Copies of this chain bind each other. A is one copy, B any other.
C-alpha cells in the first residue's frame, strides 16, 4: 500500500518539477542540487538575506541544512523560513552536526523554536541531542543516542508538533502518532560524503508536492534507498557508487518504487 502512495508522490514530482529552495552547506551543495534534479525537482540555492524571502516565497519547499553554518547564514535561514511559513510551503531542517558544537546545537534549536518546521531529519546522535535525551556525535557522524530511537523520535515529534526522521540502517519516520520504518538503502551510502544531505533534498522535493510529511519523508527515503541498493548492485566502491546513485534515482520508475519500497508501520 505504501509503495503505491510513494509512487503517486514521485509521479507528481515529475509532472510538477517543484522548485526546492536550499540554504545549505558548501561541502555537499552540488550533490544536493543534482539529486534534486534526479528526483524530478528543480533546485535553487540562494542564501543572501537580501533575496531569500523572495526565493522561498516562489518555491515548493525550503531545505535548511546547517552543515557549514555561521550566524549570518542562520539569519538567512530564519528569514527564508518565515517567508516559507507565510506561504505555507514545508520547511525541512537537516541539523548537521547538532551536538558536535554549541553553535550547531543552539542554531538547530533556534530554527526549531522560531520557525514552523515541517520535518526535521537527522542521524541518531543529532536527534538524540535535539530531543534532549542525549546523543553522541563524532564530527557530523552519529555515535548513537540514549534509549529507544523509535520512542525518542515519537516523543520528540509529538512534543514539537513536527515530523521527525532518524536516518540509519532502518530509517524512522514519525509524527508522533503514525510511525513508518523504511528499510531501503545500502551501507555504501554511509561512506560517501553527502548522502545524508541528499536524502534531505529528496525529502524536500517530495514534500513540495505532498501535504502529508510522513508519507513524503518515507517515500523519499524509500526512493533514495532503492537507488542506493541498485547502485550498490553495480558498484562496490564509493566513487563509482556515487555516480550510479544519481543515475539510479533519475531512472527509477514509479512501478519500481511501488514494488521495491520496503516500509512498515509500527
Q: Could you tell me which A residues sit within 8 Å of B by CB distance?
A: 19, 21, 25-31, 33-34, 37-38, 42-48, 50-51, 54-55, 58-59, 67-71, 97, 100-104, 138-141, 191-194, 237-240, 242-247, 250-251
Pick the 4 closest A-B CB pairs, nearest first: A44-B139, A239-B246, A237-B247, A51-B101
Contact of A70 among B48, B101, B102, B250 (CB under 8 A): B48
Tell me the smallest distance from the CB of A193 to a CB of chain B, in Å: 4
Tell me the smallest distance from the CB of A227 to a CB of chain B, in Å: 10
* Residue of B with least CB distance to A26: B26
Contact B244 A55 (CB under 8 A): no
Tell me the smallest distance from the CB of A97 to a CB of chain B, in Å: 7
Tell me the smallest distance from the CB of A169 to a CB of chain B, in Å: 18
Contact A139 B59 (CB under 8 A): yes
Contact A69 B48 (CB under 8 A): yes
Residues of the B chain whose Cβ atoms lie less than 8 Å from the Cβ of A27: 29-30, 33, 45
Contact B19 A45 (CB under 8 A): no
Contact B247 A44 (CB under 8 A): no
Residues of the B chain whose Cβ atoms lie less than 8 Å from the Cβ of A70: 47-48, 50
User: Which residue among A45, A54, A191, A192 has the maximum number of chain B CB atoms within 10 Å of its CB?
Assistant: A45
Inter-chain CA distance A43–B139, complex, in Å, is: 8
